[in-house]
Structure 1
């Protein structure tokens, strides 16, 4: 039983990583869309009057409620992948992979906190937010998300793509998609609206691949 236990654990780890990646991708994509709708980027004070509408505020509240769970599943995704490839991965790439994932999570939570500050800023009911508070909170949230979190996501994707290519656990099309995602996150996420959605899209594809690979290994072991 002791000899079989490690093999059984190794077969279950990729499946856990796949499920965590899929759930993380769906939660993060939903949160990003709701934040974009609730706090429009580039909106001036006149547009901010729409923020007094209950629909915009409810969209932002829903996004903020999803972010902590997205972070939890991302950490599960990160940990399960490390457990799967930890015995043979390059130490340099392992450090970059882990560090970028942790910084991404922290920056994601910071962006959510900034968006929450926009939501909770004190102003009379039915009156647009104060211009200074609106601009500061909105710019801080989008700078943390598109300027910093997405850059850390690019480092995370690139390190995982390199490790997956070296180990032969990621197919060539997924590796190419990873490097395209890196370029978009590095150079377009802070300038092109909605470009940050490529990260949850890549995470979804990666999670589906790992889940399918885990099921295939389980059938082979059976």
Structure 2
């Protein structure tokens, strides 16, 4: 006779977890806007002296302050999305989805840390960093955030859109929007300013969809009981 194992409790995802995606989208959008206001035309378009003599430094510092919180809410957003999608038989797509999300978070933190390090060099003395330090820091941070980070965001969006379409948990129009977002992040984002906003925009739409679907499911469950 087989021994009866104690019944395990399944932890339910709180309904507020869906709000994490909304908060993440707003924080990331605010970060991108502040960075674009501070460095409007890219890393090569501003010198250290010009950066210090304007309000651009304050805008970038405000953006860097928001990055850790955006990363925290993004991890909650990933958890909410995985709960919404449910069990995935395709381990390849599930691994790519989770891995790209974690790499995106690491690149966002790495780029923010690099930018913060460059800005902190002049804090003790009030002097601007040397040209070589400034050039390396700004290009490294900008490339990590925009060039590579948004490419990982594209992989994240693409894998989730394909999984959602195959499992039928995402409407067709939302999967199509995800593919268009992927193409924009892959090919348009590095060359067109403000194109990065499509990622928080997609995240906001997806989060609102998850919240609406979850509310309808809870309403049906309450009516049936």
SS at match of 2:45: coil
Deviations 1:63-120 (A, max 9, x none): 1111011001111111222233342442111100111011000001111112212321
Query: Is the Cα contact below 8 Å between 2:115 and 2:141 reproduced in 1?
Result: yes
Stretches of structure 1 lacking an aligned partner (at least 5 in a row): none
Partner of 2:45: 43
Partner of 2:102: 102
SS at match of 1:87: coil
**Alignment RMSD (CA, Å):** 2.2
With a CA cutoff of 8 Å and minimum separation of 6, indicate the structure with the bigger relative contact order.
1
Output the TM-score relative to the length of structure 2: 0.86
Specify the structure having the higher radius of gyration (Cα): 2
Q: Separation in 2 of the partners of 1:170 and 1:18?
A: 15
Runs of 4+ in structure 1 over 6 Å off: none
Stretches of structure 2 lacking an aligned partner (at least 5 in a row): 1-5
Alignment of 1:61-72 (within 5 A): 61-72=61-72
Instruction: Provide the aligned length of Structure 1 versus Structure 2.
Output: 213
Q: Separation in 2 of the partners of 1:198 and 1:118?
A: 28
Q: Separation in 1 of the partners of 2:145 and 2:88?
A: 33
Query: Is the Cα contact below 8 Å between 1:17 and 1:77 reproduced in 2?
Result: yes
Alignment of 1:122-161 (within 5 A): 122=122, 125=126, 129-161=129-161
Q: Does 1:209 align with 2:191?
A: no
Which has more helix, going by share of residues? 1
Output the TM-score relative to the length of structure 1: 0.87
Query: Is the Cα contact below 8 Å between 2:165 and 2:171 reproduced in 1?
Result: yes
